[in-house]
A and B are shown apart, each in its own frame.
Chain A
Amino acid sequence: MQSGYKWTLFFIVAVSHTALLITGEMPPQLFFLMPVTVLGYLALIRGRSAGNRIVLNVAAFVTLIFFITDMFIISGDLLIAVGNLTLAFHAIKSFDIRTPGDGLQVFFMSVIQLVVASELAQPLVFAVIFLVFMASSVLFIMASYQAEEVEKMPRGLMTSGVALTLLVLPVVTMMFVLIPRGAGGLLGSRNRQKAMSGFDDKVSIGAFEEVLSSADVVMRITVAGRQPVAPYWRGKVFETYEQNAWENKWTHGFPYRNRKGVVQFVRKLQKGGIVQDVLLKPPKSGTVFGLSEIARIECDSRWVVQYPNGEVAVSRRRKKRLHYRVVSTGRRPGVRANTLDLYLQFPEGMKRTHKLAKTITAGIPDAAGKCRAIVNWLKKNCSYSLKVPLAETVGNPIEDFLFETKKGYCEYYATAMVLMLRSLGVPARIVAGYRGGDFNSYGGYYVVRQANAHTWVEAAIGPRWVRFDPTPVTTESTHSMFENYLDILGFAWDRYIVGYSVEDRQALLGQLKWPGSSTENNGVLSAVVISLLILVGVTLISGRMLFLWRRKCEFRKRMQPVSILAIQVMEWLARKYPETKGLSWRESVEKIQDLPLRAKLTSFFNEYEALRFGSGPLPTNQQVENLKSLASEARTKSK
């Protein structure tokens, strides 16, 4: 085996190990196997002989026993157990590579390792890993086959390998796009992706701290047409506050069967709606985020539910990325009079809060004025901080916030305001969602991170719920051009690779119809594809015709002197020996008694036949000259 082959194999193993490592999900107990694997490959590269078969077989058997124990007892998780198994087998196999076929087994093991890694995480860096893995796989498998057949790599094979590597990428893309999708969950599989966006149905005070400290991207939103100023991506609405936690009380909403991929909540959609295309990381619940008030949604879920509080949720079979498009009216949500009692619920034992609210709003008759007064008081007297005492240690975190520390974050501000408003008889509720986000001007979309998670207040003023945000605005982070471009790549990866769906496939294939064959199909893609196909077809046919025509010309040019020479000799023979007229050259030659002439003619005609009818290349000028000299020698002999 050549050194290049061994290095490529080592590289492939390193790539798949890296993929598994960067998921951050693998238990570190078996990481000691990685240096062992490295040692095995270094020994292989240095040309040391493979390990003892008995020892390796025993190690493999022990690994299998460990795998079963791991799967059922230690980790209790099939994926982690398979990941551990591949780590161990890679380490064993690194000492047991004897033939190129063994290398191929290692490659298949690396594929399994990548499958496990893909189920554990899907970061952008996987794009690079997959690309590198694909390219190196092609070269490695080719080198593996070559090593099995011949010892030395033939000239030109590497070039051919590079060409195939370049070819495999578009073919993989095509296959990826065309392979029918399905997520049956036949074997009871569960998606390992962590739910990393959205909110639970119950949110305790203090739960936001961890979320707000994270810079992980939650969703990317493309807003068509215009950019909304200070966007509030509305999500979950909470009604009741009990035992230091907010809870959503609406367990049932109005379900819509999503047959055509579109659900509209209003009879007629007003012009000027704000269209938002959202790609959401695996959310905790089916609640969708969008600007107020969502009037229409396009998604692949079978059911869409609209709750009385204006919240919209979609049904999901598994925790995976959610891609949807919503149209918001931009109006405030309407108040349902029969549900207002729910928004006046006030927990017992918070008389100080009620007293404070009365003091702040003293002399203000209307609800809107009261709201503004409370917002102003909170902004003036309290400061924003993520460092707050634990809710469990202080008993009542909101009164602690209002009267003791006066430090907190959005959850504290909004809760305090809602409770003060409710104590004054103004129906109010808390809304959890995301505020703002970094607008990526290169990609034209908002990048919303965990740190953008926010809660604000909605108070029922007249027929509408009016938004109030008592939390002081914190400084927005800025991102460099490089970070923005990197994020565009991340968006493309999430949207078109990780988030590629059955609907995307159908939409893409739908575009391949003939232009005008469907009213929904604008035929742009099909026109491009058809034009390309026609162009390729025309190029191929004209290229082939040109090639044939040139070959014919070349053949005529090179062969004509040979054929003319043979005809001349035959004619000369017929003139000189009339009895040979009409005979083939063999018959003619046999009739000639002059032995030297016969020999000359035979060599001339043999040469002629080889040039004219042989399987070799077209005759060169030198060969034609030789033939001419043979013909002239024959004639001279005769004289």
Chain B
Amino acid sequence: MKLTREGKGLLVTGILVAMAALNTGNNLIYLLASLMASLGILDMVAGWFNLRKLSGDVVLEEPVYAGSSKTISCRFFNDRRYRPAFLVSMKDVAAGISAVAPRVGAEEMTEINNTVTFRHRGRIYLSDIQLSSGYPFGFYRNVVKLNNPKSFLVYPELVDVRGLLSGLCSVSGSGALPHPSGEDFTDIRPYQQGDPMRDIHWKSTAKAGELMVKEFRAGISRQVTVALDTSAGAAPEIFEKGISLAASLVEMLFSQGYPVRLKTLAQVSVAARSREQLYHIMDMLALLQAEEPEPGTLDEDGQEMLLLIVCNPDSPIKKLEQQAAGVFNAIRL
């Protein structure tokens, strides 16, 4: 229970009136003091009853990208059989979530939709989410902490990289970034987990009785690797810019049909052929911190396309510059 600004006003006025009553012995002033005290007591009791058997939940439609607004649904549940609840708010200061339900009917659920924008990537914990209400008079705020800890990931902010990618194609010509579709396939093989649905050869699948996928021209891989410099020397804002750029490249390439994977100094993801795998890469990026190089991660990967994002001029990742189809310097962007 928290005393509000109005509650402090009541307290100060109440004390003044009570002092005047004691000082004068005037019963009418005692009556006013009784009124003030009664308002305070009723506010406390009615406020407690208002939040009784009330619970709540927050539902957020994923994926959530930093910097872009998202609809968040705050659900209020009233398990009481008879009395509705009034003016209940749900708040999580750390997560920046706030919603007010004017009325939650008995045995009803009220959903309040709000738009929320997260400024930074990372894991958002909803462990501090609480229901509160100052009903009926707003002198106190009764607070109930919700006991259903939840968390979700906020992916890095997406920026427009179409210009960067088109520039890359024009510079490198047809060999730099092969077109993801419309090419002849060379073989048909059984389906492996992660193969895109569009590569399934339905005719062969029907004949074989199991899923068969097309294999494309040998020697030219369509897979693109985005290598991100995660060395510790980068300035935080440059580092974030690099992550944002990596996420945007991965997202854009995936949407264009390229199997895309992420490589950092210490981690290598699987190539994203499905949306789940894309989100796996986004999960990585959402939680990415500065890393020390792990042996083997910076080794050459054959003939796949490599896009390099450099955040630190002295980074060990710069040794991949030679085989990179494109190098983006986060400091200059």
Q: Could you jot down 9 A-B contacts, CB within 8 Å?
A: A118-B32, A144-B138, A145-B138, A146-B87, A168-B38, A172-B35, A175-B37, A185-B25, A500-B27
At the interface, yes or no: B86 with Cβ under 8 Å from chain A?
A: yes
Q: How far is the CA of A355 from the CA of B107 in the complex (A)?
A: 100
Say yes or no: A167 contacts B42, CB within 8 Å: yes
Residues of A within 8 A of B29 (CB): 115, 118-119
Q: Which of B26-85 contact A (CB under 8 A)?
A: 26-39, 41-42, 46, 77, 79, 84
Residues of B within 8 A of A142 (CB): 136-137
Which bucket holds chain B's interface residue count?
Answer: 35 or more
Say yes or no: A189 contacts B36, CB within 8 Å: no
Whose C-beta in chain A lies nearest to the C-beta of B108?
A617
* Contact of B25 (CB < 8 Å), options: A145, A168, A183: A183
At the interface, yes or no: A184 with Cβ under 8 Å from chain B?
A: yes
Looking at the assembled complex, report how far the CB atom of B93 sits from the nearest CB atom of chain A, in whole angstroms: 17
At the interface, yes or no: B124 with Cβ under 8 Å from chain A?
A: no
Residues of B within 8 A of A183 (CB): 22-25
At the interface, yes or no: B242 with Cβ under 8 Å from chain A?
A: no
Say yes or no: A111 contacts B32, CB within 8 Å: yes
> Binding site of B, secondary structure by majority: helix, strand, loop or mixed?
helix
Do A141 and B86 contact each other (CB < 8 Å), given the known contacts A148-B138, A160-B136, A175-B34?
Answer: no
Do A181 and B25 contact each other (CB < 8 Å), given the known contacts A145-B138, A150-B100, A164-B46?
Answer: yes
Q: Which of A123-178 contact B (CB under 8 A)?
A: 126, 130, 134, 137-138, 141-142, 144-146, 148-150, 152, 154-157, 160-161, 164, 167-168, 171-173, 175-176
Say yes or no: B20 contacts A184, CB within 8 Å: no
At the interface, yes or no: B135 with Cβ under 8 Å from chain A?
A: yes
Looking at the assembled complex, report how far the CB atom of B44 sits from the nearest CB atom of chain A, in whole angstroms: 12
Looking at the assembled complex, report how far the CB atom of A173 sits from the nearest CB atom of chain B, in whole angstroms: 8
A-binding residues in B (CB < 8 A): 5-6, 9-10, 13, 16-17, 19-20, 22-39, 41-42, 46, 77, 79, 84, 86-87, 89, 100, 102-103, 107, 134-138
Q: How far is the CA of A171 from the CA of B26 in the complex (A)?
A: 19
Which 6 A-B residue pairings sit nearest by Cβ, starting from the closest?
Answer: A183-B25, A145-B138, A118-B28, A154-B102, A175-B34, A154-B103
Q: How far is the CA of A130 from the CA of B71 in the complex (A)?
A: 49
Whose C-beta in chain A lies nearest to the C-beta of B138?
A145
Do A171 and B137 contact each other (CB < 8 Å), given the known contacts A108-B9, A152-B102?
Answer: no
At the interface, yes or no: A179 with Cβ under 8 Å from chain B?
A: yes
Say yes or no: A137 contacts B35, CB within 8 Å: yes
Which bucket holds chain A's interface residue count?
Answer: 35 or more
Looking at the assembled complex, report how far the CB atom of A97 sits from the nearest CB atom of chain B, in whole angstroms: 15
Q: How far is the CA of A108 from the CA of B6 in the complex (A)?
A: 10
Say yes or no: A157 contacts B86, CB within 8 Å: yes
Q: Which of A150, A152, A172 has the most C-beta atoms of chain B within 10 angstroms of its own C-beta?
A: A172
Given A157-B87, A172-B31, A497-B27, 18 other A-B contacts at CB below 8 A? A101-B6, A111-B17, A112-B17, A114-B28, A122-B28, A141-B137, A145-B87, A150-B100, A152-B102, A154-B102, A167-B42, A171-B38, A176-B30, A179-B37, A183-B25, A185-B25, A187-B19, A189-B24
Say yes or no: B28 contacts A130, CB within 8 Å: yes
Say yes or no: B86 contacts A499, CB within 8 Å: no
Say yes or no: B23 contacts A187, CB within 8 Å: yes
At the interface, yes or no: A498 with Cβ under 8 Å from chain B?
A: yes
At the interface, yes or no: A564 with Cβ under 8 Å from chain B?
A: no
Say yes or no: B23 contacts A171, CB within 8 Å: no
Contact mask for chain A residues 101-115; partner B; CB cutoff 8 A; 1 contact, 0 none? 100110010011011
